[in-house]
Structure 1
Amino acid sequence: MNKLINDNLYETRANLVKEITFLSDTELNSKPNLNMWSIAQVCHHLVLVEGASIKAIAWGLKEVNSSQKERKNVDHILLDRTNKIKAPKIVEPNIESFNAQQMMDLLNDSRKKLMAFLSSIEDISVLAEKSVVHPALGELPLDQWIEQIYLHEQRHIEQIKEIKLLLENN
């Protein structure tokens, strides 16, 4: 796999873990208001997105006539938090509480699965040649599916920082 992508996946996950490591279970599961997710729900959403991305990439790799569509400015779309994106049902988080260790385990397991899956791809050049429809971004080359995982995580790290500030001020 591309070293830059690998580094970005690692660095982004390290930043996420740094943001949530010292939170209590109460802080992890508190919602600033009824219309917002808790930090635990944001993290669970990230776990679900990672799993769904693996499935989408695996499906795209099996497609025979999946032709590459134009590349998108994924970072601009995902990192612009003024542009609200509704999570598809399949990646909506659970409403029940999580404890801190459980959330860390879920995050670690999903990342291990992603890295194992990516390392199992024999010819990574095919990732730029095939595409699959992404629910928020439209037709997306498979290598950009990988890119969107860490960019999406960066987006939600900013959301977690906001939630922490809101909880401090409540």
Structure 2
Amino acid sequence: MIKGSKKMLTIILFVIFLLALTTCVVINLPQFGKLPSGARLERIKRSPQWKEGKFNNELETVTMTGDKNLFQAMWSFVFDKAPDVEPKDSVPVIKTDLHKLEKDEKLIVWFGHSSYLFQLAGKRILVDPVFYAAAPFGFAGKAFKGSEAYHPEDMPDIEITKKMRKRACFAVTTFLL
């Protein structure tokens, strides 16, 4: 009985180790960006939003909605399928020829979700470029019909690209400093 328990414990610990190792490898893939360093980090530290060793949003970011705790929210996300969360038809898109945009014009082009092209101060800033794939891995999700209108070759010359999730405002704020 004890020998079987030791074997089971060894298997469980090995599986936990493999999951931790896989997580470390995956979160360090280029698709997930990287931490700032060098001159970029120094510029960020001069931001008025840099306090106590981290970047603080000017407005509070609500991470949970409703009265669910983290476990309840995760359970609901995985197992409760809400109706009408995906469009029934193609997402309407007005595709602009980005190569013909005047560079000195101030504008924002929204590509969907958190992907934007900003033109400010004669610079083009591409934030969180997600064009024809909805997730870092093909098996993790697919884009809605119609939302895959833009591809990398549609982009004009870009001075700054920020691959950040949930930090688009951070990217723009640090650029404007």
* TM-score bin (small chain): under 0.3
- State the structure with bigger RCO (CA 8 A, min sep 6), 1 or 2: 1
TM-score, normalised relative to structure 1: 0.27
The structure richer in helix per residue is 1
TM-score, normalised relative to structure 2: 0.27
The structure richer in strand per residue is 2
